[in-house]
Amino acid sequence: MIIGIDNLKKRYKKEWVLKGINIKVEAPQIIALVGPNGSGKTTLLNCMTHLLDFNEGTVELIGKKHTDPSIFKEVSYLQDNRILYGNLTGFDHLKFICSVQKIPDVNIKKVAERVGMYEYLKKRVRNYSLGMKQHLLLAMSIINEPKLLLLDEPLTGLDPTSAITMRNILLELYQEGTTILLSSHNLDEIDRLTNTIYFMKDGSILKESLLKLNTKQYIATLNNVDKAKSVLESGSIRYINFQHNQLSFMETDMTLQTFIRIMNENEIVIIDIDKRKVGAEQRYQELFEGVESM
Ligand SMILES: Nc1ncnc2c1ncn2[C@@H]1O[C@H](COP(=O)(O)OP(=O)(O)OP(=O)(O)O)[C@@H](O)[C@H]1O
């Protein structure tokens, strides 16, 4: 098991901020953790990596209990607010990791080239821009060639070129067999990286998250949406409310042919029908911005 999280619960004083998280990952994947501010993403990553204790549940990473210190040979965590030392160079930071983890120094040059920070490797970190710091943090996270890479908001502060570099590196690592779990608010980037998204809200992973993205969604404009809704509800067919005269449905819930047949049988006129692929942004809006789901 690469990630095995079972009923993880965490509270701060009386407030439960993780309310029973379950995640199972058995083969390499890229997974995105998406949710509004305060939904519990950082807390979850911190609990997984034993930076925080939790109240209930278990966490297993790379087949070992998360408290086993030996996991950090194979698991890396790029934290959101990780502290770097201004007076040290990028090289010093990487060298430190190499000595602690007994990684050969030749990896420093290799990783610096890979993330595009070779030119400023010997500069002091206090002279780095936000994006340069993010490069260094990424280099520090991948120098051990981890099997599992956890990243909290890795795209913060990156210009478009750096974001592309980051994306390409993550995709390469995935192809080499690394599992990646990242939190991000950048839904366009997430769409380019993966269609496996866990949507988090108030400390839980939403069940709707299990819907695979990139399935087709149809949006139908109808002469009588209310009637269409009650017909679909009576057949327990899932739909999504849209504008006042539109509703939409996923092809996984009902084929287009079935929809047309049901509308015809009930004398509902289909004025227009549009098709699109469901991306992360749209799914986010449906889940968090009040576009109702049944
Ligand atoms: N040290 C703490 N003490 C008390 N409550 C905390 C603490 N850290 C986080 N919280 C609370 O836990 C909840 C989850 O916070 P968390 O930082 O995990 O959310 P997040 O999804 O990572 O948010 P963001 O997208 O803003 O980074 C929030 O309600 C937050 O206020």
The CATH code for residues 216-277 is 3.30.70
pLDDT, tens digit, 9 for 90 and up, residues 63-113: 999 999 899 889 999 987 678 999 999 999 999 999 998 999 999 999 999
Tallying the residues shown for the chain, one arrives at: 294
- Distance, in Å, from the CA atom of 244 to the CA atom of 249, rounded to the nearest integer, reads 15
Q: For residue 33, report the distance from its CA to the centre of ligand 1, in Å.
A: 14
Pocket flag, ligand 1, residue 46 (CB < 6 Å): no
3-82+142-210 has CATH 3.40.50.300 classification: yes
Domain ranges of the chain: 3-82+142-210, 216-277
Residue nearest to atom 30 of ligand 1 (CA): 38
The mean pLDDT value of the chain amounts to: 89
Cα angle 210, 184, 44; round to 5: 70
- Residue 192 near residue 280 (C-beta atoms within 8 A): no
Pocket flag, ligand 1, residue 96 (CB < 6 Å): no
Q: How far is CA 208 from CA 35, 56, 69, 287, in A?
A: 13, 24, 35, 8
The stretch 38-43 carries a mean pLDDT of 95
81: burial class by Cβ within 10 Å (0-12, 13-18, 19+)? Answer: exposed
Strand partners, 56: 9
pLDDT of residue 270: 95
- Distance, in Å, from the CA atom of 205 to the CA atom of 3, rounded to the nearest integer, reads 15
**Ligand 1 atom nearest residue 80's Cα:** 27
The dihedral of CA 35, 38, 44, 50: what is its sign? positive
Q: Among residues 44, 88, 38, 47, which one has the least CA distance to residue 66?
A: 47
At residue 240, what are phi and psi to the nearest 5 degrees?
-125, 130
pLDDT, tens digit, 9 for 90 and up, residues 173-184: 999 999 999 999
Q: What is the pTM of this model?
A: 0.80
Which residue shows structure tokens 């049988």? 265
pLDDT, tens digit, 9 for 90 and up, residues 125-149: 999 988 889 899 999 999 999 999 9
Strand partners, 151: 78, 182
105-134: string of b/e by CB count within 10 Å (b at 16+)?
Answer: eebbeebbebbbbbebbeeebeebeebbbb
Pocket flag, ligand 1, residue 37 (CB < 6 Å): yes
156: burial class by Cβ within 10 Å (0-12, 13-18, 19+)? Answer: middle
- Residue 149 near residue 173 (C-beta atoms within 8 A): yes
Residue nearest to atom 31 of ligand 1 (CA): 38
H or E element that contains 191: helix 187-193
- Distance, in Å, from the CA atom of 225 to the CA atom of 230, rounded to the nearest integer, reads 9
Pocket flag, ligand 1, residue 41 (CB < 6 Å): yes
Q: Among residues 5, 57, 38, 37, which one has the least CA distance to residue 181?
A: 5
Q: Is the ipTM of this complex over 0.95?
A: yes
